Structure 1
Amino acid sequence: MRIQRFQMNPGTKKKLRAETKSEYSTLNIQKPSERGEEGGLIIERILVLIRNILHVEAGYKDNRPIGDVTVHDQVLWALHQAGMLDVFLYITNTARESEYYMHMLEILTLMLKEQNANELAGSLVRRSEAEKMRDEAELLAARLREKLERQEKEKMSASSRHSRFGGTFVLKSHRAISNNKLIYHGPLSKADQLNFDEAKSKRKTPKNRAPESSSTSLHRSSLSIRLFLKDFCVEFVKGAYNDVMRYSKAYVAVMPQLTIDEPYYLMALRFFMEFNRNFEFDLTVVT
């Protein structure tokens, strides 16, 4: 799947963002007194829905090529095409919408959970020579790995063709159930790897009871994904980072029993500080 980045001049982009803000304002982004309780609940439900969608798994087990678009990248691209990133910036830049800052912090953290802040800050419209060389090296390594796996499969299939004709042996160091010497059918090279648990059926754990994996591997998305994420991070760091993080820190300090919000705060703090350090290192956003 290839995604082409749409080029837009700054004037048109600014006008489009203003129109997006005005359109979203007509929906429900109004003053809390004008919006009412029902309108606030609708906005909160929309943000919770987006947060739940961004919890989608990375999908590294489907053997995708390096730099290919994953399911998470497709979700990010859909949000970008729908103009939701401009809505996120509008909410985080508006002081009267501070009640949604914690939802926005979770959404931003989940959006950037697979990204490397250093690589994202250094993303350019054209790939650098170092990035091209790295992609070529990773491609060669992937080809070599596939070749070795194919050779290993061919070797196993060739050696296991006549497995029953390897001979019958007696293992003196083991005893059978009848307390006699154990009879072993197989090659001598695998006699020291004798395992009685191979034929046993393993106990399966239901998916709904399986432990959740807490580690998230980094993934280098396609260039188009990284470019609009970089633009989003730049605008967030320069315009809304201080206010959102100040509110989030106070919220976590006042309500420490809600430990689910503290990891999001720490992950956002680490990511955006690393992004700012590798982009332009603006000291005004260091809080």
Structure 2
Amino acid sequence: MKESKIVIDAEKKSLSLGVGELFRYKDLFLILAYRDYRVRYAQTFLGFVWAFIQPLATLLIFSIVFGRAAKVDTGDIPYPVFALCGMSAWAYFAFVMNQSGNSIIGAQGMVKKIYFPRLVIPLSKAVVGFIDFLITFLFLVILLFVYGIIPSENIVFLPFFIIMGIISALAVGIWLSALTIRYRDFQHVIPFMTQLGLYATPIAYPAKLLVGSLPEWANALYFMNPMAGVVEGFRWSIIGGEMPSEYAVISFVLTIILFISGLFYFRKVEKVMADLV
């Protein structure tokens, strides 16, 4: 019986993304995702309950600050439902961005000792984050039922915006995971990006509040945020209302560009990753 061998080709074309290789390491991908999920709530008093507390606490703060104090106009839609629609998409993006950004450094023991496609590490974070997304989405369904809101007919477009949200999270996460290896400053920048993005994304307020009052160049700049179009589309597909701004196309195009370029940059850095960590 012949022994199977893994050959690492140093002359392999840099334009190859190694999709077939990633598929061969699918078992490692699943193991890492399962490990991260278990470790996340290990040795905590409340354990998995934290997955329920976090979105509830954020929703409560938003409802008090923006719903009561600032009195953001959300039309006929109750503010908690409006805000949770945006939070559902944003929370997933923020989790993947934070976890992926430091994922390679956190797994440097594995990276230095054995060979495997390093892209498996940030990709596994997307699976763990999706579990929290499903929990938040369940809260949203419950709120819709409590307020007696029937999802709009636009719900058929929801899978598209979910997929775009996943791609957007991975695009930024893959870029940050590669950049953090070379420039450790990004470890301190990522939390700042998360806080800034929370308010620079139309989660607590509708994008039309800004789009209607800013010049065209500023509107285009605002929607260069990859999640701006996703959040608006996610909300529109569930509760209806006005279609996302035409500027949302900028978010979607930029997301695809970031995702593809991030994959190629990651593959380039991957060759020297074991030396850098």
TM range (shorter): under 0.3
Give TM-score scaled by structure 2 length. 0.27
Normalized per residue, which structure has more strand?
Answer: 1
Of structures 1 and 2, the larger Rg is shown by 1
TM-score, with structure 1 as normaliser = 0.27
